[in-house]
Structures are given as C-alpha cells and as structure tokens.
Amino acid sequence: MRRGLTLFNTTSIAFGLAFLYLPIAILMIYSFNASRLVAVWGGWSTRWYAALLEDRAMLDAAFASFAIAAGSAAAATVLGTLAALALTRLGRFRGRVAFSAMVYAPLVMPEVITGLSLLLMFVAADVDRGFLTVTAAHTTLTMCFVTVVVQSRLASFDRSLEEAAMDLGCTPMRTFMTVTLPLTLPAIVAGFLLAFSLSLDDLVIASFTTGPGATTLPMRIYSEVRLGVKPEINAICTILVIVVAVAIFAAAWVGRRAGTGAGLPAK
C-alpha cells in the first residue's frame, strides 16, 4: 500500500513539474533554432540572440521593464513593510479594518478594475502617463504582497528579543535596526523579489497606465505575438528566465548563508 502510494506521489509530482516547466524548456531550446519558422527545427544556432541585439525597440522595452520593476519593488517593499509593522504592532487602532481592506484590496481585485481605476485617477488629476505612472501603478499592485509576506514573519517574531535589547539600554530605533530588521530581512527580501517578479510580468495594468516612451516588455511581446511569434521573442524570454533563475538561486544562497551564520555559536 505504501509503495503504491509512493509511486502515485512520484508520478503526480513528475506530471506536475512537466506541466509547469516543459513549455519553458521547449521555449529555451527553440531559442537556439536556426530556422526562421518557430515550429520547424532547423539545427542549432545563436543567430536570434545576435538579431536581438539589433532590435532596439525590444531592448528599450526590456530596460524600461527592469527599471519599472526595480523602482516599484523598492517602493512597495518600504510601504509594505511599514504597513505590516502597523498591522502587527499597533494593536486594534481606530480605522484598522478600513486600513486592512485598502492594503489587501489589490489581492482580490481584478487587474482590469485596478488598471481602469488608476487610469481614471490619472486622467482626473491631469497627470501625463508614462514611466512614473506605471511605476506608481505597479507599486499599488505589489505592496499588498509584500505586506502579507512581512506580516507573516512579524506575527511569529519573538518579542522577548526586542525587550532584552531595550533592557540592555538600546533605544527603540536602535532595537529596530539591530534586532527587528535583521531578523525580518529574509521576509523583506522575499517580498521585494515577489514584487519585482509581479511587476516584470504585468501586462494589464501597464496597458492602462502607460504612455509614450514607457512601453514595457510584456506589452512589446504581446503586440508582436499578435502578428506571429518571432524567433527573437524566444531569445528574450530565455534571457529573462535565466536572469530570474539566477536571482532566485542567489537569494536562496544568501539566505542559507545568513541562516548558517546566525546559528553559529558566539565566541
């Protein structure tokens, strides 16, 4: 019985991983296809990576996407961390329910509604749409995810460590900087990476809030895919997959090193 259950679990995991990652693997393989026809294999070649370097519009969209993702993720991390601190440390303050509803609303709100509401707000405020409006919109979208991640860490935080630091003479600010922040940093970094990935992937909200000169990479890819998949798209998608994978493994390695260092006995 146990052997059959183990075989079923292994088979389920294998099919699940294949469903998730096999299309990505096929895309990466076909990015080295020598044929101009995407569905016809013509041998191994890196010609489309060289062609990608000459596609100025695609490169500009990629640079804009990374800049928007970095700016919105940084802003969302700061605001989301402050919101998590308010929800976990201030108790049942007046307006807590309304504050929580506003923070968590983007989690359940359809992106079409969020994008349309932001568009109407920018139009009513007579704000020129472009790089800053997309960054602000992505900050609104991703801040709630950072709040959830950091709040879950603060909810299980051992407050006796902070009390011990203040008993030894630390001010509240120094206690936060030397005790609370380092122990919460893995969750903050995880929230930043999640916000960065969500911003880099977003298409709907960026389509509503963008303007001239602020075309993101998902928008560029979507506009070209409607006319047919170009081999250069496989190349840029492969580069994105590699960049994200390297960032994830680097963050995991740093977190593991930090955890190992924290567990060493003090000399």
Which tens digit of pLDDT belongs to each residue from 88-107?
887 777 888 888 888 888 88
Can you give the pLDDT at residue 71? 93
**Is 25 a member of any domain?**
no
**Is 12 a member of any domain?**
no
Number of domains in the chain: 1
DSSP state of 52: H
**Is 265 a member of any domain?**
no
Its domain, for residue 87, covers: 55-256
- Give the chain's residues under pLDDT 50: 1, 263-267
**Is 82 a member of any domain?**
yes
Indicate the angle between helix axes 231-262 and 56-89, nearest 10 degrees. 30
SS3 5: helix
CATH number of the domain at 142, please.
1.10.3720.10
**Is 35 a member of any domain?**
no
Distance CA 201, CA 203 (A): 7
**Is 146 a member of any domain?**
yes
Residue 44 pairs in a beta bridge with: 33
Can you give the pLDDT at residue 178? 83
Can you give the pLDDT at residue 142? 92
**Is 7 a member of any domain?**
no
H runs (alpha helix) in 45-178: 47-53, 56-89, 96-108, 111-124, 131-155, 159-167, 172-175
Kindly give, in sequence order, each residue whose CB lies less than 8 Å from that of residue 36, ignoring residues fewer than 6 positions away.
231
**Is 86 a member of any domain?**
yes
Residue 14's Cβ-side half-sphere holds a number of Cα atoms within 13 Å equal to 6
